[in-house]
Amino acid sequence: MKLDVNPTRMELLRLKRRLVLAKKGHKLLKDKQDELVRNFLSIIEDTKKIRLEIDREIQSVFQSYSVAEGVVGGEVIENLLAIPGAQTRLKSETRKIMNLKVPKFTVEVTGNPFNYGTSTSTVLVDNFVKRFGNLLNSLLKLAELEKTSILLAEEIEKTRRRVNALEYILIPNITETIKYITMKLSEMERSNLTRIMKVKDIIQQKREESRR
């Protein structure tokens, strides 16, 4: 489908420049799309791995708690952990992937999570608390990866639509319009040449008549 423009040489020159820019833009967007897809697939692979790790960590946390509960007792553990000795704060930042801002989560722990004393506690409780802290870090990492994959998928879709718009709509339309203008200009040149030749013939004929 050609664009609605006047078939002039200025318009032809403008469209040729626009076509060059459109092709450059298409290449840049295509490269961006490929890089986004590469990052997306890498993050999906990392997400699968960390999910498996979290499954193992959850089982480990429950096992360590069950062992501690069996030795120390559930009520004792609840009393030990009733007043937390550490404060946990979630810190949310951003990083960039191909100019796309994605989240980065970190946990800041202040205080001592093991300050519940040693008189009634055992290494079993310490082990449980440590494993639970590791699980929290892994869960935050999973949340970070999943949010990043969602943002990447949305950006890939936006970029794909732009690539398709350039590849299947704008570039073909400009190309068709350039061909149309080129054809119209050629027709106009042939028509002008024909008129010039006719005028020349008329002038020549009048000169010959005047000489008689």
Average predicted confidence (pLDDT) for the chain: 85
- Domains identified in the chain and CATH numbers: 29-161 (1.10.287.3240)
Q: Is the pLDDT of residue 100 over 70?
A: yes
Whole-structure pTM value: 0.75
pLDDT band per the 50, 70, 90 thresholds, residue 204:
confident
Q: What is the pLDDT of residues 174-190, one digit of tens each?
A: 999 999 999 988 888 78
Q: What is the mean pLDDT of residues 122-141?
A: 83
* 19 neighbors 193 (Cβ within 8 angstroms): no
Do the beta carbons of residue 90 and residue 107 sit within 8 Å?
A: yes
Answer yes or no: are the C-beta atoms of 113 and 86 closer than 8 Å: yes
- Element (DSSP H or E) covering residue 53: helix 9-71
- pLDDT score of 116: 65
Instruction: Decide: 101 and 130 in contact? Cβ < 8 Å.
Output: no
* DSSP 3-state of 20: helix
The pLDDT score that the predictor gives to residue 156 is 97
- State mean pLDDT over 150-164: 96
Mean pLDDT over residues 23-29, rounded? 96
Report the chain's C-alpha Rg in angstroms: 37
With CA atoms as reference, report the closest residue to 97 among 27, 42, 52.
Answer: 42
Quote the CA–CA distance of 135 and 22 in Å, as a whole number: 49
